[in-house]
A and B are shown apart, each in its own frame.
Chain A
Amino acid sequence: MFSLTQLFGRSTFSHGIHPPEHKAETAQRPIRRMPFPQQLVLPLNQHIGKPAVACVKKGQEVVRGEPIAEADSYVSVPLHAPATGRIRGIELMPSARGPRTPSILLDVYESATQEVLWGCERDLDSLSPEQLIQAVRETGMVGLGGAAFPSHVKLTPPTDHAVDTLVVNGCECEPYLTCDHRMMLEWTDALLLGTRIAMRCLGVAQAVIGVEDNKLDAVDAIAARIQPGSGISVKAVPTKYPQGAEKMLIKSVLNREVPPGGIPAQIGVVVNNVGTLSMLGRLLPKGEGLIERVVSVVGPGVERPGNYLVPIGTPVGFVLEQAGHEGRKSEIILGGPMMGTAVPSLDTPITKGTSGVLVLNEPAIDTESRLRSWPCIRCGRCLEACPMHLNPSMLGQLAAKREYEQMGEQYHLMDCFECGCCSYSCPSNIPLVQYFRIAKSILREKP
């Protein structure tokens, strides 16, 4: 289907969906600091890659900002104490990533001033790109958009590709979430500093910040602070989901397509999130670690929705107590409604990759049509929605027949990035994405 935006101006990818945005409730609320809970839960695997290794002992006192776990390999980052307190121990705790994982438990000193007491100020301009990347690594920074990929790895693309452009992802295309929006508005200078640092790490002269056009105030704020000649530009892109998916955003701002199974570096691009870069811009000059992040706490079940600066490791239950939560039957989701994970336990902590706490309660989660599924009627809506141009209907039918190999070979299952557009559109309410996740994991395990 053609879209008006394609005809008249802003370029974008084809397909995708327009779910209700639900951003008005929190987009205007400035970032506020959330108090410390009594205890923080700090999983050692808050990033993709090898978990960090604890370097503190039970009973040890730590000050806010001090490293408490070290990176264990190249794809790994250190972890810092988000508060001054005493290590209670290292135990298996619930996490958003499924099974219980080894976590450092930290009892927070109530009377402490909670000043950041650890860091090493640096003159960034004097550092070489390698030293800069090392500095990035020492902050324990990972992609804050949700993927939690260690930033220093992302800023070191494979050398066999010539990277020429940094794309900064300010789309925030998931409904409900507004934390990136607030960071762009309130931390604009930090964002631009972070962008310049990332450009220097990558050795590129060009950076484009792509922002969905439902956040034109952010576009204006950024445009007003960009220094001429910095090579940085900001571009509004049409609001639609999943505009913030790397491949879609690159298509929209640069009109380049990442080949199937490929990575952005192959076409000369590295993508970073606005949240990640603004946080880098705040931390790097002081040489501090990543100990807190902005989290959108939203949804029909939240009484005081807003964007909160939350210490890493704060249990979801505490966040909801602070923001107010109607105690009805709810679905508690870390991240947005399209790709976020529903958590089984209120003890689950906020981690580096948690962009939102979304509470959906009755009746939003209980309509009958959401509970029952019908046979595929071949309506084709999933095809029209899939941004990767797959055939989810066919994939779904093959999944039902367990023909996983054919799904992979003939119907490009591995190119599905689980954005959920197909499930969202399906009038038969077929759990397509769920089928694909299972099929993908089965195919991955095959020799």
Chain B
Amino acid sequence: MTNKAQIEIRTSPHAHSGADVVQIMRTVALTLLPLAGWGVWRYGLSAALLLLTTLLGCLLAERLFNRLRGQPSSLGDWSAVITGLLLGLSLPPGFPLWMGLVAAFAAIGLGKALFGGLGMNPFNPALVGRAFVQAAFPAAITTWTPALFDGRFTNPVPSTLAWPFLRPADISPWLHERAVDGFTGATPLALMKYEGQSIPLTDLLMGGGAGSIGEAALLILVCGLFLAFKRMLDWRIPLSIMASTALFAWLAQLFDPSAPGPLIMLCSGGLMLGAWFMATDMVGSPMTSLGVLIYGVLIGFVTEMIRLFGGLGEGVMYAILLGNAAAPLIDQWTQPRVFGAAKAKARKSA
């Protein structure tokens, strides 16, 4: 028979779904690995080194800020791993490693620790890190290298190992040496926008000739769907971003037939990575069912506007940051109707 010491007292509910933050974070982090692997295959040693740098940089920064704030280590929650991988995936393959480290510290420090750690960060930390280096190193972040060039596993892109605080060397002679056919260093979007060239769709789906490490629309879709299926991301967010981006692109094309069409808009740049893995960051996105739809449409719309009218080829990053900023307000506006509330009004007025 049980004696007194062995009786546990807890409050209801005594059952739990078993859902667990750590498990969610770990699954998301592991789901990014195929993307990272594919990026490394396409871009070689430089991509591998950069991903490692951002990953380790984020872990290091997380631990450091824990120390400074006198908290226990929060590395176990895997969220810094996600940030590190996402950050690396959103950078160009030949991005200097030291700048990658700066980006990692900006991501964790400015994007997360400043606001109080896990769950408190209004913006996606990886995007904060990327926005920071976009502003700090505008040249390096728009220097693209071709995919699948020869010797990519033995020789890193020269800019990768640039000395800290020195301007990385111009890599055009190096590019020329590789003699990559027709490589202009422009991203597919820029090609469309400034040179009126179109890019084969297969390139876009598998990761374009030039772009960030993690730009492989098809693979992102597969990984994202897997997470959505496991209920670890809210599928309504990528769906509404994709649908609205496509819709606005289609509308834009009605007015100006030379504008990129829906498919190109969807598959190019960071849109897919952003829609599936960054905008869906639970902390920075709204919580109500109507709210996430508004949020998605807002991001789609801003992306399209920046891509069409802005000076930057890439609008997703800013669009999502803006979406993050709007999320609390969107939540406020879309508070669910309390059960029975509307009926009560109707009866009163009746």
Asked if B256 lies at the interface with its beta carbon under 8 angstroms from chain A, I say no
> Chain B residues near A380 (CB, 8 Å)?
234, 282, 287-288, 292
Chain B interface secondary structure, helix, strand, loop or mixed? Answer: loop
Within B240-289, which residues are at the interface with A (CB < 8 Å)? 282-285, 287-289
Q: Let me know if A427 and B24 touch, CB within 8 A.
A: yes
> Chain B residues near A147 (CB, 8 Å)?
none
A400 to B279 Cα, complex, angstroms:
27
Q: Let me know if B119 and A378 touch, CB within 8 A.
A: yes
Q: Let me know if A390 and B20 touch, CB within 8 A.
A: no
Partner of B287, one of A333, A338, A391, A426: A391
Asked if B176 lies at the interface with its beta carbon under 8 angstroms from chain A, I say no
> Chain B residues near A285 (CB, 8 Å)?
none
Residue of A nearest to B344 (CB): A259
Residue of A nearest to B10 (CB): A342
Within B149-205, which residues are at the interface with A (CB < 8 Å)? none
Q: Let me know if B20 and A388 touch, CB within 8 A.
A: no
Residue of A nearest to B120 (CB): A375
Asked if A260 lies at the interface with its beta carbon under 8 angstroms from chain B, I say yes
Interface segment among B98-106, B137-145, B207-215, B334-342: the answer is B334-342
Asked if B16 lies at the interface with its beta carbon under 8 angstroms from chain A, I say yes
Partner of A259, one of B4, B287, B336, B343: B343
Residue of A nearest to B19 (CB): A427
20 intermolecular pairs with C-beta atoms under 8 Å apart: A247-B339, A256-B343, A259-B347, A260-B339, A260-B341, A327-B3, A331-B8, A331-B9, A344-B9, A369-B16, A377-B21, A378-B284, A380-B234, A388-B339, A391-B336, A424-B15, A427-B20, A427-B21, A428-B21, A437-B11
A304 to B283 Cα, complex, angstroms:
46
A329 to B12 Cα, complex, angstroms:
18
Residue of A nearest to B234 (CB): A380
Q: Let me know if A378 and B285 touch, CB within 8 A.
A: yes
**Contact flag A340-B339 (CB < 8 Å), given A325-B2, A345-B4, A374-B119:** no
Residue of B nearest to A383 (CB): B287
Asked if A4 lies at the interface with its beta carbon under 8 angstroms from chain B, I say no
**Contact flag A393-B6 (CB < 8 Å), given A327-B1, A337-B14, A369-B18:** no
Partner of B119, one of A251, A376, A390: A376
For the side of the interface on B, what is the size category? 35 or more
> Chain A residues near B335 (CB, 8 Å)?
391, 411
Q: Let me know if A388 and B338 touch, CB within 8 A.
A: yes
**Contact flag A389-B336 (CB < 8 Å), given A317-B1, A377-B118:** yes
Q: Let me know if B7 and A381 touch, CB within 8 A.
A: no
> Chain A residues near B347 (CB, 8 Å)?
259
Asked if A68 lies at the interface with its beta carbon under 8 angstroms from chain B, I say no
A25 to B18 Cα, complex, angstroms:
22
A260 to B341 Cα, complex, angstroms:
6
Q: Let me know if B339 and A389 touch, CB within 8 A.
A: yes
A431 to B66 Cα, complex, angstroms:
25
Most buried by A among B10, B13, B347: B13
**Smallest CB–CB gap between B216 and chain A, Å?**
27
> Chain A residues near B20 (CB, 8 Å)?
369, 427, 429
> Chain A residues near B339 (CB, 8 Å)?
13, 247, 251, 257, 260, 387-389, 415
> Chain A residues near B22 (CB, 8 Å)?
369, 374
> Chain A residues near B8 (CB, 8 Å)?
329-331, 342, 365
Most buried by B among A175, A257, A394: A257
Closest 7 CB pairs of A and B: A259-B344, A420-B13, A375-B119, A380-B287, A427-B19, A257-B340, A337-B15
Residue of B nearest to A373 (CB): B21
> Chain B residues near A92 (CB, 8 Å)?
none
Asked if B117 lies at the interface with its beta carbon under 8 angstroms from chain A, I say yes
A423 to B17 Cα, complex, angstroms:
9
> Chain B residues near A332 (CB, 8 Å)?
2, 7
Residue of B nearest to A259 (CB): B344
Partner of A433, one of B2, B13, B338: B13
Residue of B nearest to A379 (CB): B282
A351-375 CB contact bits vs B (8 Å, 1 = yes)?
0000000101000010001100011
Q: Let me know if B338 and A415 touch, CB within 8 A.
A: yes
A393 to B117 Cα, complex, angstroms:
17
**Smallest CB–CB gap between B91 and chain A, Å?**
25
A317 to B7 Cα, complex, angstroms:
12
> Chain B residues near A388 (CB, 8 Å)?
338-339
Asked if A214 lies at the interface with its beta carbon under 8 angstroms from chain B, I say no
> Chain A residues near B343 (CB, 8 Å)?
256-257, 259
A33 to B60 Cα, complex, angstroms:
65
